[in-house]
Amino acid sequence: MSKGRILYVEDDLTLSFVTRDNLEMRGYSVDFCEDGITALEKIASQSYEICILDVMLPKMDGFTLARKIREFDEEIPIIFLTARSTREDKIFGLQQGGDDYITKPFSIEELVLKIEVFLKRSKIHLRQETKNMLIRFGHFSFSPDNLRLTSGGIHQYLTHREAVLLAFLLEHRNKVLRREDILNAVWGNDHFFSSRSMDVFISRLRKLLKSDPLVKIESVHNVGYRLIVADNPGDL
């Protein structure tokens, strides 16, 4: 039985052969593509547990491919492989939809460890006591089990990670939460790249909640975040 199905996109055939061979020896099923267009066609028609994308690809680069993947799949973990190693490059990759970044040359052990971490995180479930509740706050109602946020009869569907994050913030509404506490509860660690990913998810939630002036996710400098649910505007 396969440990997980991986989409691997790399135009260096020598590197790809060695990497695929090692991953398959460790029990993973690997679908390989040499260019971004072929990879997009595959992921649009098949399901995978994780995507490993080289950045410099023919026909469609890895960043563009990641953005297109995110248009129809918000949850699948994406790991970039690249020789570009500056912090700015890494942050840009996260902004395009990536979850992590491995700099070439890399060890197969490092790649396998990251794959295992992401596959484990993908099994995160909502807290059982929260899962079946309908949570009301401001003019919203939130059903974590259905990943649905409702306001004025209009339903918005969250990704699983967004729902877990919102449920955690609501559980501690009006309280200041440290970044590391949020990261450990929702991402399972407090690593740098998870931290950058959290900021992106917070930004998404702010957009979803902006229609209610009495609901606000506040940034607390050098500490973390606080979800404020106020009774009147003066409380914000």
pLDDT digits (tens, 9 = 90+) for 28-58: 999 999 999 999 998 877 778 899 999 999 9
The superfamily CATH assigns to domain 5-121 is Response regulator (3.40.50.2300)
More confident residue, 92 or 12: 12
Q: Is the pTM of this model over 0.85?
A: no
- Read off the pLDDT of residues 118-177 as tens digits, 9 standing for 90 and up: 877 665 555 554 556 789 999 999 998 788 899 988 998 887 778 889 999 999 999 999
User: Quick one: what percent of the chain has pLDDT higher than 90?
Assistant: 49
Where does the pLDDT of residue 212 fall: very low under 50, low under 70, confident under 90, or very high at 90 and above? Answer: very high
Whether 5-121 and 128-235 share one fold: the answer is no
pLDDT in tens, 216-228: 999 999 999 999 9
Domain range annotation of the chain? 5-121, 128-235
* CATH label, 128-235, candidates 1.10.238.10, 1.20.120.160, 3.20.20.70, 1.10.10.10: 1.10.10.10
Which tokens go with 56? Answer: 């410099």
Percent of the chain past pLDDT 70, that is, above it, reads 89
Please classify residue 110 by burial: count the beta carbons closer than 10 Å to its beta carbon, then call 0-12 exposed, 13-18 middle and 19+ buried. Answer: exposed
Sheet holding 154-157, edge to edge: 135-137, 140-143, 148-151, 154-157
